Amino acid sequence: MPPKLPRAIVDPAEHRSKHPNILIYGPSGVGKTPWIMQLPNLLVLSVDPEGTISARTWGKGTKIWPIRRYPDFVAAMEYLEKGEHPFKYVLVDTIGTLQTRLLREILEAAHRINPAKYHRDIPQIQDHQHWQLVLKRIVMDLNDMPITVIWTAHEMLREDANGDEMTLPLLPGGKNQYEISMWVLSIMHVVGRVGVKSVELKGGSLRYDRGVIFANRPPVVARDRTGTLPESLRIAAGPRIETTFSEIMDMIEAGGEAALERAEAMVEARTDDPAEIAGDMIDAQDAIDMQDRDESEADGQTETDRMVAEQNGDDPYDEAPPTKTAAKKAAPKKSGRKFQPADEE
């Protein structure tokens, strides 16, 4: 008779997370939040400045908890930790603005204690270490709760140690201003990058299609540790939705062969060429115009850079500093078929 195993040892199927953690990122105004808000029984921790999300995009049972200061986020975490709530999903929108509000709380607390020594707007070296450690803790604590957590982020362009470009979630901090972003990516089950491409129609008019990538396609960083999602999917062809976020969650939650069969069927009709999706993107302003979104979302993005830019002397109003590789590139072609980087003109 085989020896009895400790209860902590389980089969791989039992170890599979019932509450996956997901990060969706992309250019400002590309429609990440409305897409996710179609989920039912969703609690939105709205960290960004209030925008113009139409009520018709909400799923049944959706509620919004405005997070205007970091203590509001702590209160929301304490509520969720008790487990006495009706929600199946929680959306943190966005993690970059949460980073900003956390740093603001740290600076104001230090300024209250010693106004002569600590400026309420200019962080010192120890302040950066402080917010980085706290951010790591709260991300892990929320992800460990028995609820599916979805994070959104804007995006930034960085250069790795080899000089190659990377498109990452907008979370500047740490070594080379992308260490924190890479750490957050590393602890997520699924990372998807949403983009937009222009399609030229008969007569010369353009249609803007949205797609999502779940596979690493340099320079885009993405991944699917669940093994249930296709490498890429078309979300919408113009205003027509083709893949809802509920379908994404259905595949992840189904797991195994059922998820793979569903993914294969969806890919046949809705896949965009991964090379196109990971290649050139239309510029961010076109995406914003297409979505007719309020400018407050873009303001939230620049606020994040403004709060942390002092760490390495970056221009706080640059969405993503130009890299050496980008400087050598020729101007992108305006063919109407390819994606173009959101931060290239």
d(C-alpha 132, C-alpha 46), whole Å: 21
Residue 232 lies in a domain: no
Q: What is the pLDDT of residue 257?
A: 65
**Does residue 200 sit within a domain?**
no
In the prediction, which pLDDT does 332 show?
40
Torsion of CA 97, 98, 101, 102, to 10 degrees: -140
**Across 26-50, average pLDDT:** 89
In a domain, 335, yes or no: no
Q: Is residue 8 part of a domain?
A: no
- Position 53 scores a pLDDT of 62
pLDDT at 259 over 80: no
Using DSSP, state whether 157 is helix, strand or coil: strand
Question: Does 187 reside within a domain?
Answer: yes
Report the domain count for the chain.
Answer: 1
Q: What is the pLDDT of residue 13?
A: 62
Query: Within a domain: residue 177?
Result: yes
Q: Measured between alpha carbons, how far is residue 304 from residues 36, 107, 137, 173, 237 in Å? A: 22, 14, 19, 11, 31
Total-model pTM: 0.74
Strand segments, DSSP code E, in the chain are: 21-25, 42-46, 63-66, 89-93, 148-153, 155-159, 165-169, 190-200, 206-213, 223-224, 232-237, 240-241
* 41-45, 121-125, 216-220, 255-259, range with the lowest pLDDT: 255-259
Residue 96 belongs to domain with CATH number: 3.40.50.300
266, part of any domain? no
Domain assignment present for residue 213? The answer is no
Average pLDDT taken over every residue of the chain: 77
Lowest pLDDT segment from 83-87, 221-225, 248-252, 334-338: 334-338
The percentage of the chain sitting over the pLDDT mark of 90, rounded to a whole number, equals 39
Between 335 and 150, the more confident residue is 150
Structural tokens at position 16: 């599979």
Residue-number span of the structural domain to which 23 is assigned: 18-195+273-328
